[in-house]
Amino acid sequence: MHHAVTERDPDSESEAPRSPEGDDKKKERVIHTRVPAVLEQELKRLAENIRVPVSNLVRAILEDAVSMADRAGRGVEEELHKAATNLSSKREAILAKKEKVVAQKALEGVIGFQPLVLASEAICAKCLTPLHPGDEAHLGITADASAPRVVVCEPCVPKRASRDAAKTSPETPEK
Ligand SMILES: [Zn+2]
C-alpha cells in the first residue's frame, strides 16, 4: 500500500529534470527565479537570434558571470572588502570628530563643575565615556540656565596645572 503513495509532491518536482540513471554529468538543479517581463522578452529575443533555448542562454549567461567573478578572483574581493572597511572606518572617524565638536560645544559656557554622584546613566560630555549610576561625576554649571545640562567624568574635570607643577615652577604666585 505504501509504495503507491510515496510519489513526490508533483508541484515541487514538476519542472525538475528527471535525471536519467546513467547520467554521469554533474548533478543539475533547477533554479526558479522571477524576472521582469521586459527581461524575459529580451532573453527570448536574444535566444531566438542565436537559436538556442532560453534556458540554455540563461545558463550560459550565469556561467559566464560566475567564471568572470572567479577570474577576477580574490584580488577584487579583497579590494572590495578593503574599500568597504575603509569606508566604514572613515565614517566612524568622521562621526567621532563630529561627536567631539558636539562635546566641545556642550562645554561652551560652562563656568564651573560641581561634583555629584550620578543617579542615572550619563555620558561624559568631554571624553564621551559612558557613566553609570553611582559614578562620581561633575555637573557643568552654566551661566545660561536654559543651556542643556552637561556632565563630565572625574578625569575630565579641568585641574590646575600649577598644583602638579608647583615644585618645579617658580612662577607660582606667592600670596
Ligand atoms: Zn570624561
Q: Which helix (H) or strand (E) holds 110?
A: strand 110-117
Residue position matching grid coordinates 604666585? 173
- pLDDT (tens digit per residue) in 78-136: 777 777 777 777 777 777 777 777 777 778 888 999 999 999 999 998 888 899 999 99
Q: Which residues contact 125 (CB under 8 A, 6 or more apart)?
A: 103, 106, 107, 140, 150, 151, 152, 156
Instruction: Give the distance (Å) from ligand 1 centre to CA of residue 123.
Output: 8
Instruction: Give the distance (Å) from ligand 1 centre to CA of residue 148.
Output: 17
Instruction: Give the distance (Å) from ligand 1 centre to CA of residue 120.
Output: 16
- pLDDT (tens digit per residue) in 6-47: 444 444 444 445 545 555 556 788 888 788 888 888 888 888
Instruction: Give the distance (Å) from ligand 1 centre to CA of residue 15.
Output: 65
| Ion ligand 1 — residues with CB < 5 Å | 124, 126-127, 129, 153, 156
Ordered by start, the domain boundaries in the chain are 29-105, 108-160
pLDDT of residue 174: 52
| Residue 140 per-residue DSSP state | E
pLDDT bucket at 144, cuts 50 / 70 / 90: confident
Higher pLDDT, 67 or 111: 111
Instruction: Give the distance (Å) from ligand 1 centre to CA of residue 139.
Output: 12
Instruction: Give the distance (Å) from ligand 1 centre to CA of residue 124.
Output: 5
Check: CB of residue 169 under 8 Å from CB of residue 162. Answer: yes
Instruction: Give the distance (Å) from ligand 1 centre to CA of residue 173.
Output: 30
Instruction: Give the distance (Å) from ligand 1 centre to CA of residue 112.
Output: 15
Instruction: Give the distance (Å) from ligand 1 centre to CA of residue 153.
Output: 4
Check: CB of residue 70 under 8 Å from CB of residue 112. Answer: no
Grid coordinates of 175: 600670596
Task: Give the phi and the psi of residue 141 in degrees, each rounded to 5.
Answer: -100, 125
Instruction: Give the distance (Å) from ligand 1 centre to CA of residue 152.
Output: 5
- Provide the strand spans (E) within the chain: 110-117, 122-123, 130-131, 136-142, 150-153
